[in-house]
Structure 1
Amino acid sequence: MLTQQLLSIGVNHFLTISVILFGLGMFAVMTRKNAIVILMGVELILNAANINFLTFSKYNGGMEGVMFSLFVIVLAAAEAAIALAIVINIFKTFKTVDVSSVDTMKE
């Protein structure tokens, strides 16, 4: 009985992991200048949202969180594809992926 209480994972554990992922994602987005690292930060933020959706879905017994999570996964895949295409075009034009050095729309 005591081992089950020690090994049980509750809502607080999932929310703690989600907050850590969200914080790391925000740190990457706010402090980095590399476009690829910024995109990885955005993905961390979206994964933190997925963990929240799935946590509340599991503990409330509904399927809404699972549906929202699937929607966020599809949204993240589309965002990654479009953003990487933009980054490739920026690299072709400016020979860098540093977002602070890209200051014109067309050269």
Structure 2
Amino acid sequence: MSADGTILYLTDRGENTIVVHAIDPETGKLTFLQRIACGGEFPWHFAIAPSGSWMLVANERSNRIEVFSIDAATGHVAPTRNGLDMPRPVHILFAGEIA
């Protein structure tokens, strides 16, 4: 979820996509905004950077972490075409998030 609680991000492993919904702050109703390819196969986990500007997606079966930018105004994500090859990535944690 976005830091301000207005956008919900999900991954769909069956379709290998990231799905974005707006959250109505008064009712909690979800409104579909976007469905985009996750850049690999089987998006096991993703994390949003503390800045809220980046999303990293761990695509387990394609052995790659993909980087997406996040538009602060719309909540939409966009591929950056940057990433990191890594055997079976299944979790992403940003430095400083370890408690």
Same fold by TM (over 0.5)? no
TM-score (norm 2): 0.23
- Comparing both structures, which one devotes a greater share of its residues to strand? 2
TM-score (norm 1): 0.22
Relative contact order (C-alpha < 8 Å, sep 6+): which is higher? Answer: 1
Greater radius of gyration (CA) = 1
- Comparing both structures, which one devotes a greater share of its residues to helix? 1
